[in-house]
Amino acid sequence: MSNYAEGAPAVRTRRANPMGAYLTVAGIALFTIAVFLDWLSADIGDAARTDGRSVSGYETDPLIPFIAYLGIGLAAALLYAMTRAYRRQHRGLTLTSMAVGIAATLLALSYLVDAPGVSENGADVSAEVGVWLALVGGLLWAAGSGLFAKEIEGDDHLDDDAYGRDLSA
């Protein structure tokens, strides 16, 4: 039984569920790991050797590790905001993370469809495991950010009533 001799306990406000943020961090981790795996391999038609030289995402395009490093910064900011922000999130940061996650997904998808810049060399290349892992990581990143963005944010209707703001406009 509760002791209410000192008054009723303080009512806690609803806070954002961190599952979306954790899913975002997992997607960012997968995308970052994928940067260092093979992304493209050159197909050589030699009978003795069927696989050509493979290159990692880090060697393929400088934009790939940049997006991974940007994701690491966004993950750190999301986790920090969960500990400091009222109701555990900052919606602008979450939506920024979702936009970068969508861009990471589209980047990986572009390497699956047709690797950028390969047509000018005339080389026949195929996607490797790093592209697939980056695609899964980008999807998790974007979906997790979307889940977290739909959670409640610091501003709510109680604050609007307290400050006399009209929401009907």
Structure confidence by residue, pLDDT tens digits, 116-164: 766 566 667 788 899 999 999 999 999 999 988 887 665 445 555 555 5
| Phi and psi at residue 78, to the nearest 5° | -60, -45
- The pLDDT-based confidence of 49 (bands split at 50, 70, 90) is very low
Tell me which DSSP letter residue 86 carries.
G
H/E stretch holding 125 = strand 125-127
- State the pLDDT at residue 129: 93
Mean pLDDT of 67-71: 96
Q: What is the mean pLDDT of the chain?
A: 80
Going by C-alpha positions, the residue among 99, 98, 102, 81 that lies closest to residue 90 is 81
- State the pLDDT at residue 21: 87
Q: Kindly give, in sequence order, each residue whose CB lies less than 8 Å from that of residue 141, ignoring residues fewer than 6 positions away.
A: 24, 27, 28, 31, 71, 97, 100, 101, 104, 105
Buried b (16+ CB within 10 A) or exposed e, 157-167: eeeeeeeeeee
**How far apart, in whole angstroms, are the C-alpha atoms of residue 9 and residue 99?**
40
Mean pLDDT of 76-97: 81
Mean pLDDT of 4-29: 76
- State the pLDDT at residue 47: 39
Percent of the chain with pLDDT strictly greater than 90: 37
- The pLDDT-based confidence of 90 (bands split at 50, 70, 90) is confident
- State the pLDDT at residue 6: 66
Per-residue tokens: 78: 């999301």
**pLDDT of 46 strictly over 60:** no
